[in-house]
A and B are shown apart, each in its own frame.
Chain A
Amino acid sequence: MSEAITFVMAHANTWAATALICIGLWVVMVRGNLFKKVIGLNIFQTGVFLFYISMGYIRGGTAPIVVDRPDAVYANPLPHVLILTAIVVSVATTSLALALIVRIRESYGTTEEDDVNASDEP
């Protein structure tokens, strides 16, 4: 039993990221409101960011700035830099999605996916 707990705890970051990814995907798939879909997409991506960021962290490590201590352990900065890029991409995606929703609202008068689909039925 304790082994299982250790296993879960040792990978706590992964579990958290997985949970966020699943919640995000669930929202995207199940919610009919377009805003909620975008929010779901953001949760999903945040899960991935978390996964990257925690991956680079080393327990007891310090920020990757050279310090005058021979036994210093540095966190890996690369995943953090990468995810900075991914966050920028995510912001761009979100803004584009919101812009599209505005256009959809203008021409359909609704932000519900079902209503949008229904009003295009012949």
Chain B
Amino acid sequence: MNVPLPLSWLPLIAIAVPLACVPLILLARHFPDVREGITLAGAGLLVVVVCLLAYGLSLGSVAELEIYGPIADLPLTLRVEPLGMLFALVAGFLWLVTSIYAIGYMRAHHEGNQTRFYVFFAIAIGATMGVAFAGDLITLFIFYEVLTLSTFPLVTHAQTDAARRAGRIYLGMLMGSSIGLFLVAIVITYVVAGTLDFRPGGILNGRIQPALAGLLLALYVFGIGKAAVMPMHRWLPAAMVAPTPVSALLHAVAVVKAGAFSVLKIATMIFGFDLVGSLTATTLLQAVAAFTVIAASLVALTKDNLKARLAYSTVSQLSYIVLAALIADPAAFLGGGFHIATHAFGKITLFFCAGAILVAAHKTEISQLDGLGRVMPLTFGAFLVGSFSLIGLPPFGGLWSKWMMIEGALDTQQWILVAVFATSTLLNIAYLLPIPFRAFFRPLPAGVSPRLQEAPAACLAAMAVTSGGCLVLFFMPDAIVALLAGALP
């Protein structure tokens, strides 16, 4: 179908909207209300833009745009395809929700440097849109790097020694892996295939020897440090020193999903299912991802700090998606793509709750949460919903994504992977559910009044929306599967 001109510009507009907020936020730096208003307006506009794009995609149009070329012989292209569309929808919508939450959180927590915070937040979202709509590897790589750099000031926001140390790990690991491994992989791909475009079915199949392809796949899986496959996961727990809205949107949704999304996209649209499935290296990488799933869950069990436990849970859940990419089966692909959405809604809810607990009750450790459910019933209610969704219990969206990934493993008769998924579900229960149970069923420590003291209304509203999202996703798997199925060759 012919694309009307404005529609083909929409992906670029989706990137430009958050970036356009930057100068405005800077101008309004002395007027907090105006400043936050700009962020909200930008986020609202972005939601409209991505919805328009999704509508266009559902009509069967492919918005494609060469934004600039050539950088070093390569044109930079943006192309809307189903997987990226889903990612952009999730990130764009959750930016709006997180902005609402951030206003409540940052003010209640009296954070400094709020202008810097909102500026880099907007840049990070712009970069995320770029990652989602990248039409070729080099465009993806550019926005991937912008995302790393723009989130660095958010991680080191507190400017304490601990924050600086964490920032060093963050930047060192993400840039190190991306320049040292990811870029090498891109150059090799270019030399082998002569192009870097994402195409359904891949561009490498039939042009590359298996040994090199295996090496290349490994370079991608480890080089995309944002996917946090062990041993490239250390940056994620380190990044938890950031303010909670950052951990929530960036380190549970935008940044980490940019990694998992890239792996999934590269596996399907650079390698193709057939090639990935035929490689010996795939089995080894599956083992690494499966190990990450289990090991990160076990580490999460040992963490008493709430955000650290959630961080390791994210590490584990990201490797689900990597595993889904490596299973190289349509069902697993759908599950992996779907998991981007369900994990996003579930995990962001949990982080919102963690932030709310910090703001309202000033608690960071799980062992301090005894009885707090009576003080903050709404917060812990939302926490329970998020946990259920992550575990995969009905009636929440997490059920479907896990279901489809297991289906993929069954299709390809990889029984061990089925066992991995099952085991990790048990581990999910073990590290998530004790938290709300402790809050609801343990008595409050002596001397603490059981008076109701909830987080700011903006925070509660955001939690309500995201936990509602977990529920909605349960009832609309068909829509998402239909969207994603467009990406299958």
A touching B, CB within 8 angstroms: no
Residues of B within 8 A of A (CB): none
Residues of A within 8 A of B (CB): none
